Amino acid sequence: MSDFSSFLHNHRVILAPMAGVSDQVMRTLCIEHGAQLTYTEMISAQGLAYGSQKTRSLLDRSPLEDVVAVQLFGHKPDVMAREAARVEDLMGDHLACIDINMGCPAHKVVKKGDGASLMLRPDEAHSVVQSVVHAVDVPVTVKFRRGYASGEETAPCFAHVIEDAGASAVTVHGRYAGQLYHGKADWGVIGRVVKSVTIPVIGNGDIVDGKSGRQMMDTTGCTALMIARASEGNPWVFDSICAALEGRDEPMPPTPLERLECARRHAHMQAAYDPYSIVRMRKQAAWYCKGLPGASVARAAFNHCSTVDDYDAVFDELECYNVDYTMSQDEVLCCAQRCEDIKKEGVRHE
């Protein structure tokens, strides 16, 4: 068993790289709730090459990240190799691996020849991976999808190309690029990739709780699990999956007030990390309160929050809805009016 294979066996529950979502604040909260390995947001190798400080800041580690995986995207072998080496120099012993994104289906990414479009050019993908492998000492991994065009499964063959180029592991998402994030992920392809390569395979797609995590691992034979959208507003999903994999009873889901408490803390941490990034909290806050009483009114208010105090005010009102489900109609209307006032105040400031 390789060193990286052993590492993955001890870090089986992984937070996925998510552009605009998995910043160091979210990663901190997910680690607190059981995530065993975290990935940075998807980072442009070309952006690093241009010296973009905004791009460089995506490499900032969470205080809880002893090691972190860094995901790069790009299609030029020389640029990818040079910037991977630069990342390794900057991160030192805190770098778990360099991951290469060959699965992002976003139009603005694939139209430049990056992300999932590399699945259409396996020779070029091989060159990118091989160049990065030769440039760094840390393991190099690759994340890709079932295939590019819907109905044309290429992942098993593509995985073999990536292994031949020297990758230490692959992550397979069970949807085609053409599906974006719609439809159901096919776990069967993950099992087929496991059988086609000798390196570890990380499974990704539709893991939403401990039960589904256990099922994916049992049915596909993958080494580790990568969780993406199920973690949005729900860091507790990692506790659930860890418990299931270890044969323990899964913890009770968080109460509405526990969800709001975590959302409030997330907002304060976001403001402390970077006050200018507080707008990112709008979607995070909406995820935390999804399905709660008063959520529809709160979502409208979140869209106009521009300070941590704005968020606190909305969370205060959500607590009114959720402390006691037997609130009078007058009390409900009062809370709704206060959220509406916050929305109007936000409009005046924008």
Residue 327 has pLDDT above 50, yes or no: no
Residue 332: per-residue pLDDT: 46
Q: Work out the mean pLDDT of the chain and round it to a whole number.
A: 92
Q: Which whole number is the average pLDDT over 187-196?
A: 98
- Show which of 225, 245, 265 is a domain's final residue: 245
Q: Which whole number is the average pLDDT over 128-134?
A: 98
- The answer on 241 and 264 residing in a single domain is no
- The answer on 235 and 276 residing in a single domain is no
In this structure, what CATH number is given to the domain that contains residue 118?
3.20.20.70
Residue ranges of alpha helices (H) inside 13-112 are 24-32, 45-49, 53-57, 77-91, 107-110
User: The domain containing residue 115 runs over which residues?
Assistant: 3-245
- The answer on 155 and 271 residing in a single domain is no
Asked if residue 302 lies in contact with residue 286, where contact means CB atoms within 8 angstroms, the answer is yes
Per residue in 23-65, pLDDT tens?
999 999 999 999 999 999 999 999 999 988 889 899 999 999 9
Residue 43: per-residue pLDDT: 97
The reply to whether 201 falls in a domain is: yes
Q: Helix, strand or coil for residue 175? A: strand
d(CA 84, CA 100): 10
- The answer on 121 and 211 residing in a single domain is yes
Total domains in the chain come to 2
- The answer on 260 and 321 residing in a single domain is yes
The reply to whether 326 falls in a domain is: yes
Is 104 one of the catalytic residues?
yes
The reply to whether 251 falls in a domain is: no
- Show which of 213, 245, 277 is a domain's final residue: 245
DSSP 28-43: HHHHHTT-SEEBPPPE
The reply to whether 261 falls in a domain is: yes
The 10 Å Cβ neighbour count of residue 100 is 30
Residue 341: per-residue pLDDT: 61
Per residue in 250-276, pLDDT tens?
999 999 999 999 999 999 999 999 888
- The answer on 190 and 107 residing in a single domain is yes
The reply to whether 250 falls in a domain is: no
- The answer on 166 and 128 residing in a single domain is yes
> Would you mind telling me the total number of residues written for the chain in this entry?
350
DSSP 264-290: HHHHHHHHHH-GGGGGGHHHHHHHHTT
Residue 118 has pLDDT above 80, yes or no: yes
- The answer on 232 and 191 residing in a single domain is yes
Asked if residue 84 lies in contact with residue 45, where contact means CB atoms within 8 angstroms, the answer is yes
The one catalytic residue among 104, 222, 262, 320? 104
Residue 328: per-residue pLDDT: 47
Q: Which whole number is the average pLDDT over 338-348?
A: 53
Q: Which whole number is the average pLDDT over 303-329?
A: 81
Q: Which of 50-54, 80-84, 96-100, 265-269 has the lowest mean pLDDT?
A: 50-54
- The answer on 265 and 236 residing in a single domain is no
pTM for this predicted structure:
0.90
Residue 232 has pLDDT above 80, yes or no: yes
Residue 330: per-residue pLDDT: 52
- The answer on 85 and 61 residing in a single domain is yes
- The answer on 263 and 230 residing in a single domain is no
- The answer on 87 and 194 residing in a single domain is yes
